[in-house]
Structure formats: structure tokens, C-alpha cells
Chains A and B, each alone.
Chain A
Amino acid sequence: MGQVLYATFLENRRVYRLAKARWQRLFEQLLSAKQYTFRPFLNEKRMDGNPMFTAYVPAVDRALRIIQVDPSEAVAELDIKAWLDQAVMPEREDRVEELVIDLVLTNEAERLSKQLIDGWLIQGLSMVEMEKMIDELVVIDEEVSGV
């Protein structure tokens, strides 16, 4: 596996805050091109990485959730999963389309995350296009999937 970034984030609160700040910066950089604003939409008080970072982007009415996993839970060299879901917004009745990325944070996993976030929020890919992008970028080892 590539070098895990912020590997001790679950044991050290300072490391946790640094990891969270990295997501914040990454997200701000990605969205700056379109000058989109965003805000967290879930309770992120627990410092367990689940979720590590959430953002609702009003301009595109879409949401993003990042789950950062303990490196000891890794099942592959490059351990990143992604799927589309529907997020509940506290102030509204309907649901918001959400991209969820679940990963062990390495440079390569971060690079793929950027591509996924770009497709979802900047390019505004359709659900079908996004599913295709996820299938292309996030490869599951069939031998370990067992499903």
C-alpha cells in the first residue's frame, strides 16, 4: 500500500484535525474554479472519520460525504470505494443526491477522490455518467468481493 496519510488520525486528535483540514482545503480548491459555496450538512462532532467531511453545495443541489477509514481496516493496496446515495437535509422534506467516498487515505486514493468530486460537483455529470465513472475508477477485486 502507498504511504497512508494521517495514519494515526483515530488515536491523535491533532492529527484528526489536520486530516479534516486537508479535506477542507482540497474541497475549497476544487470548488474555487466555479466559486461555489458549501456547508457541512451532517453532525461531524464524533472524531471517528465516519464521516470525516461533508458538504452540501447549493449551486448544484448536491452533497458529498467522505468516510475516512482506519488503515488497519484496509482490504486492498488501493482502498477506496464510492457510491451514490440520497442525503437527508434537516431543513427540507425531499432528499439530495449524494456522492459517498469511503477510503483509506493515500496520495493515490486522494487523487481518485478529486476526480470523483470534480465529476460530481464541477462537471455535473448525470447519475448514470457518475456510476460509470465510479466503475471505471474504483476497481473491486472480484476475488475478495464474494458477492
Chain B
Amino acid sequence: MTKPHRGRIQAQGENLEESVTWAQDEPLSKKDGLKLLELLKSKLSKKELKNREKQFKQAQRFIENVQGGENAPSDITFLNRKTKHERVDIEIWSGTAFGIFLLLFIIWYLIG
């Protein structure tokens, strides 16, 4: 059965298409999103990483700064503007990602 919260973080360009995906029952947390971003970086060569150094930082900042979670469908592109289309894409296919869901759950639990 298809999981309700799905998406992909992708490094793309002329000669590259590398990605990490998620598919789960609960929304993807910021912490897990950042972990996936690091996992994607680990799959790239030094040169591929260098061409996207700033874009990975922008993607990290995006995940860290999302307010209340980002809802699907969403596709955010961080392009190396000095290149044709070397980039990092964050795609949220369904559900929600990058919220502080655990914290909210704990607060809800404590209040309840």
C-alpha cells in the first residue's frame, strides 16, 4: 500500500541523477530530512559536490527554516546559476515534510 508521506531529494545536472527518497506513515521530520540530505551528499563525487556546494547549503537552510511543515505537492529547486542546470531538487510528492512533528506530539501528549 502506498505510504501517505512520500518524496525525494535529488541532485541533477548534465551527467548526474542521484537521489534519496522517503515513503512513510508519518510526516518526514526536519531531522530526518537533513539526514537524507547528508546521505545524498555522500553519494556524490567531490566534483559533483563542489558544483552544488552552495545549493546543498540552500537546501539545508530551506529544510531548517520551513514553518509548520511543507505540504505536497511541492518542488523546490536550488540551481547553480553559473551552470546550465546543475542543481538540487526537493520534491514532496504527498503528505507533509520538514515539520517539528515529534515536538508537537510531545507537547500535545503532555498537555493531554
Q: Which residues of A contact B (CB under 8 A)?
A: 41-43, 45-46, 50-51, 65, 67, 69, 73-75, 79, 81, 83, 85, 87-90, 100, 102, 140, 144-147
Given contacts A43-B70, A147-B14, contact A88 B75 (CB under 8 A): yes
Within 8 A of A (CB), among B67-112: 70-77, 79, 81-86, 91-94
Given contacts A43-B70, A90-B72, contact A145 B77 (CB under 8 A): no
By secondary structure, the A interface counts as loop
By secondary structure, the B interface counts as strand
Q: Chain B: how many interface residues by the 8 Å CB criterion?
A: 23
CB nearest neighbor in A for B47: A147
| Contact present for B72 and A43 (CB under 8 Å) | yes
Complex CA–CA separation, A81 to B74 (angstroms): 20
Min Cβ gap B53→A in Å is 12
| Contact present for B73 and A90 (CB under 8 Å) | yes
**A81 CB contacts on chain B under 8 angstroms:** 79, 81, 84-85
